[in-house]
Chains A and B, each alone.
Chain A
Amino acid sequence: MANKSQQHPTLTGAEILWAALAGEGTTTVFGYPGGAILPIYDALRKFPTIHHILVRHEQGAAHMADGYARASGAVGVCMATSGPGATNLVTGLATAMLDSIPIVAITGQVSSKVLGSDAFQEVDITGITLPITKHNFLVTRAEDIAPTVRLAFQIARSGRPGPVLVDITKDAQQGTATFSFEAAKPHPYRPHPMLRAESSSIREAIELIQQAKKPIILAGHGIVESGAEKEVIAFAEAQQIPIASTLLGLGAVPAAHPLQLGMMGMHGESWVNNAIQQADLLLAFGMRFDDRVTGNLASYAPNAKKIHIEIDPSEINKNVRADVALIGDLKEVLQLLLPLLPKNSDTSWLKEINASKGTAAVRDIINLPDNGHLYAAHVIHDIWREAQAAGRLENTIIVTDVGQHQMWEAQYFKHEAPRSLVTSGGLGTMGFALPAAIGAKVACPEKDVWVIAGDGGFQMTASELSTIVQENLAINIAVINNGFLGMVRQWQETFYEKNYSASPILSPDFVMLAAAHGIAGANVGKRADVIPTVTKARTSGKCFLINFQVEKEDGVYPMIAPGAALHEMVRRPQHDPLLETAEDE
């Protein structure tokens, strides 16, 4: 609706919404219509540049917008009607909030004349989502729609990104106003008064880095959000500082990079966690010292000074006390630091860490001979091997659900590119994978998108299979089926004396479920069948579901018990009874 003439058109609020979305670069909206948002859906046909994807449940819409944003870096947009439509978005908004993902959610609302009267399908969604959005708005006038939507986009993507909800009353959608995209431009982003790296702090940081003998970079999600991948690698290489990644930081530094140690934390590699405990300097790059990363705070990296580079000042000293805090955009701060540091070529610390790997890799499950049993780790590692052999690794996005398979994915799929792993880290939302993969595939149609989900989480949002078919999306789905809510079962095994309370789960025949949707599928129970079936799925050009029937009572190792110190790892038992019986057969 770009109108270059001096006269600005008079449009309805609904039309203004679409024009503003289009102006912000939105090409896809994930949504579900309903009474209070019908004027907006009525105007949709006038905006052919925007493709609307009908979801099967509004939670799916939010996760799709989330997956879209994670895969592309652009703002994802989802839409729902008032009342139950809006409340169904809540889990998706919270997921995006905890992982700092930029999405804009549009909800319809009852007419402003009846606001607060418990009208049909009325719910106070701005009140409900207040703590799980970066910001939210209630719009009651057509003329406020364009400035609010533009401001919502700005808030969603600036600073530490996050979800923004815009609730628009039905009378605002039906009212009219003159529309000018340019005039609706928000003011420059409110500068954060605390948002700058102090020159004295920079000096202190340089001093600490130069003194350090055993420094480690903790590579977080902020690297990807800031687009600072190159700077981080340049910094690490110039200083020969090894890198440990958080779950959401995987891919920011390629797994194959010699300085990349692997994932830290509860299910991180033993040598990574041990190295953090021995380090004398931690450089936290865009990460927030989550409890899954630190273990017991009192014993966390006891000998290390901490330099925290972070865009959100409220994260400083929240969990771990920073000796030096550099507040700001990671890329800018690193660009400031890089030229001020003389190069370091001492590789002894890296060699020490590499030597400490010892037998850990040998004991690794992927090195077990094929004994007829299928382990989830095998499946995930083989998906990686298949993609690598086909030269598709850089063009593969893995979208995981939450649980054991998520941790195995993080351990056994080696991510070489940023945004190649889409996973719910902070909130740990089961049911995330399938809808988020739809968003990722829509954002990156040229890439191979794999859903890796457990039998539990997959059933939470399996209704979105219909969405995949309706949109004709070639998404590959790997259901890691062990008949249990696996992570719950593992905790019950470890901490609750194997009292498997409510963790065994009955599932439908997933291949037949896929078939009912017109989706091809296959059952795999043997290791030898994994790679051929994965290739078949990847090259089918259509959605394909593989049900991997894996070992029922396998565990994720190493593991740090909640509240234990980072070096107190529980290792895969040398004589895992499960593995022994496997070898006997």
Chain B
Amino acid sequence: MLHTFVALVEDKPGVLTRVASLFRRLSINIVSLTVGESERPDTSRMTIVCEAPENAAHRIRASLYKLETTVHVDEVNRAQAVVRELCLIKVAAGPDSPHGQNSRSQVFELAQVFRARVVDLAPESIMLEMTGSASKIEGLLQVLRESGYEVLEVSRTGRMAMRRGHHTSRVLKALGTKTASADNIDILDPDALPEDEVLPTEFGEHEA
């Protein structure tokens, strides 16, 4: 199954290698990995999506924690988090393309339905920018192809994930924030539960 991990790591040379090497050693394929700045100085945020057995999640998370350069690790699933991806698509849409003179206007329409933006217009092609879940991006690509458009280039960033709701107690703790007062925390957030009640299940029930 697909697992999504969000890791805060030190922004230093070699940190990406350490994270990537961990997955290599466990022989787990990384589906996507995005790295960028976070809200915290000198700290990068990685969203790592990987294909691994269901019971591997705990071990991956614990192994990520073991890296000295890791500040915090969270595993998120779709229900808890907003997951987004950015995609650039270049479509052939010149007078010689199958749809001829109507190419552009049809692509414009499709883009509007999928809430994609036209970011470049060339005599022979159109470039679209789209942000959304992976399935929506795949949907647009499928419709384009099925409509007979030639997709010239596709560049996807890979998924980024962020938990819904307020900062969780664990994130606040990881960030060094002094205290997360109880009413500040989304009660429905599993991370807001007393930690005693969270961790044993991670070591227990999840791993059948």
Give A contacts to B, CB under 8 Å. 126-127, 130-131, 134-135, 138, 155, 190, 192-194, 198-201, 204, 312-314, 316-318, 321-323, 325
Contacts and interface: CB of A to CB of B under 8 A. Distances in A.
B170 A193 contact: yes
B122 to A, nearest CB: 39
B199 interface: yes
B26 to A, nearest CB: 10
Contacts of A313: 62, 65
Nearest to B25: A131
A126 B59 contact: no
9 contacts: A130-B17, A130-B21, A138-B14, A198-B200, A199-B196, A200-B196, A312-B66, A317-B55, A322-B203
B71 to A, nearest CB: 8
Interface in B10-30: 13-14, 17-18, 21, 25
Contact of A193 (B13, B21, B72): B72
B25 A314 contact: no
Nearest to A160: B66
Nearest to B58: A317
A131 B65 CA distance: 15
B160 to A, nearest CB: 22
A155 B68 contact: yes
A321 B204 CA distance: 9
B207 interface: yes
A135 B203 contact: no
Nearest to A134: B68
Interface of B: 13-14, 17-18, 21, 25, 55, 58-59, 62-63, 65-69, 71-73, 170, 173-174, 195-197, 199-200, 203-204, 207
Given A126-B14, A127-B17, A316 B200 contact: no
A126 B21 CA distance: 13
A491 to B, nearest CB: 27
A192 B65 contact: yes
Contacts of B14: 126, 138
Contacts of A198: 195-196, 199-200
Contacts of A192: 65
Contacts of A317: 55, 58-59, 203, 207
Contact of B62 (A130, A314, A323): A314
A441 B106 CA distance: 82
B62 A194 contact: yes
A316 B196 contact: no
The residue among A135, A316, A317 with the most chain B CB atoms within 10 A of its own CB is A317
A317 B173 CA distance: 26
A192 B197 CA distance: 18
Contacts of B17: 127, 130
Contact of A194 (B21, B71, B199, B204): B199
Nearest to A195: B65
A190 B203 contact: no
Contacts of A204: 200
Given A127-B17, A130-B17, A321-B207, A316 B68 contact: no
B21 A131 contact: yes
Nearest to A130: B21
- Which 4 interchain pairs have the tightest Cβ spacing? A314-B62, A313-B62, A135-B68, A325-B203
Contacts of B195: 198
Contacts of B71: 190
A148 to B, nearest CB: 12
B59 A130 contact: no
Nearest to A308: B203
A200 B197 contact: yes
A187 B170 CA distance: 20
A190 B68 contact: yes
A513 to B, nearest CB: 40
Nearest to B202: A194
Contacts of B65: 192-194, 313-314
